[in-house]
Amino acid sequence: MKNIPKILFLARWYPDRYDPMMGLFIKRHAEVAAGFADVAVLYLRVAPGKPIGTEIDHQLENGVVTTLVYYGTKSILPSFIIKRITGFLFAIAFIKGYRFLLDSWGKPDIIHVNILTRLGLMALCLRKFQGIKYVITEHWSRYLPVTGTYKGFLRKYITKVVVGNAEAVSTVSENLAKAMQSHGLANKHFMVLPNVVDTQDYSPVWTESKNTKKRFLHISCFEDRSKNISGLLRAISKLAKLRDDFECILVGEGIDLEKMKSLSAELGLSESQVRFTGLLEGAKVVEAYQSADFMVMFSNYENMPVVISETLSCGLPVVATSVGGIPEYINHTNGKLVAAHDEVALLEAIIFMLDHSSDFDKQRIRQNAVDIFSKQAVSQKLKDLYGFVK
């Protein structure tokens, strides 16, 4: 491997013109890798409502050469035919984007696949025909038994071949690695690669809170099937019957946002008790963390959500369900764990935090997060991952 390797990220999710938050954790990994390597990203995105064809958006952003390929699928052809050729349209978009990168950036030394399976198949082909070795980082929770979404003989077979031919596989938690291995996805080098947090921006406010009420935060993509925001709202409605010294701030947007707003109203929760802010970015989301006393996540299933990493970096304790990789990071020193779906336990944990969140050692929570999620810590993990490529 060269002293300054050229690393190509193939990203299944990445921030784009339609969704600036999609795959933000992959972008952060790429930016960290750009601190010691020449990094490019290739991302393919279906352009909603656009006719068949491709558009390439190429730019240099935060040291990362970024090539976004938008491809349309709209046609006069019947929809059942379009569904059958989407894989072909994807492959055409990939070839165009990859050729563009070869001409403008050059041939990569290492390919870093982020999220299987299609992009892994592309990497496998490039290994066979161009001799470029690849590593994998998997973020998707579909391998967890509770989701029931990892199925299909062909998908499973291709995924097994792709994983087996990678130099190494990384996941953001041991739990996800074990879930993949339980499906027969074998590789000689599995490792944990945590999500990265800019711990300079995501940092505590050391002064005493000026809130007149205890404030707890929930940040998510507002997809209720996994995040169980409805269960959180039901617990809050019971809390409101017991005390009025709190406010819950719900940050984010997604397919179930309006549904959750309606449920909150149906439960009789006022805006002084529950407030929906919509999507917050940059300094505004950091301010939301810094103004809170603790975070609550009541997910039915998870991998390891980056919002928990950000919360800990801000020195705040977390109430979360004991699912996925969360128990690997949350313990009695930085929060409380409850069972998924257990709204009674959630209510008890929130009440405990309302009374005791200030008892947690904010500095200790912060330092442990820096040791795991900071750019410096994740940079070394990425170097370890690429070190498997000989």
In a domain, 206, yes or no: no
Question: For position 1, what pLDDT does the model report?
Answer: 47
Question: For position 299, what pLDDT does the model report?
Answer: 97
Question: For position 75, what pLDDT does the model report?
Answer: 77
H or E element: which one contains 111? strand 110-114
The Cβ-side half-sphere exposure at 308, using a 13 Å CA radius, reads 30
Question: For position 146, what pLDDT does the model report?
Answer: 84
In a domain, 256, yes or no: yes
Based on the fold, state whether residues 35 and 162 are members of the same structural domain.
Answer: yes
In a domain, 205, yes or no: no
Based on the fold, state whether residues 123 and 255 are members of the same structural domain.
Answer: no
Based on the fold, state whether residues 243 and 110 are members of the same structural domain.
Answer: no
Question: For position 2, what pLDDT does the model report?
Answer: 54
Based on the fold, state whether residues 64 and 144 are members of the same structural domain.
Answer: yes
Based on the fold, state whether residues 81 and 180 are members of the same structural domain.
Answer: yes
In a domain, 209, yes or no: no
In a domain, 368, yes or no: yes
Based on the fold, state whether residues 254 and 330 are members of the same structural domain.
Answer: yes
Based on the fold, state whether residues 186 and 78 are members of the same structural domain.
Answer: yes
SS3 state at 17: coil
Structural domains counted in the chain: 2
In a domain, 158, yes or no: yes
Question: For position 79, what pLDDT does the model report?
Answer: 72
Q: What is the pLDDT of residues 299-318, one digit of tens each?
A: 999 989 999 999 999 999 99
Based on the fold, state whether residues 21 and 84 are members of the same structural domain.
Answer: yes
Q: Strand pairing partners for 217?
A: 249, 295
Based on the fold, state whether residues 183 and 218 are members of the same structural domain.
Answer: no
In a domain, 1, yes or no: no
CATH number at residue 303: 3.40.50.2000
Q: Does residue 276 contact residue 260 with C-beta atoms inside 8 Å?
A: yes
Give me the residues of the chain with pLDDT under 50, please: 1
How far apart, in whole angstroms, are the C-alpha atoms of residue 29 and residue 135?
Answer: 14
Based on the fold, state whether residues 86 and 45 are members of the same structural domain.
Answer: yes
Based on the fold, state whether residues 148 and 269 are members of the same structural domain.
Answer: no
Range of the structural domain that residue 239 is part of: 214-373
Based on the fold, state whether residues 232 and 334 are members of the same structural domain.
Answer: yes
Question: For position 74, what pLDDT does the model report?
Answer: 83
Question: For position 212, what pLDDT does the model report?
Answer: 82
In a domain, 201, yes or no: no
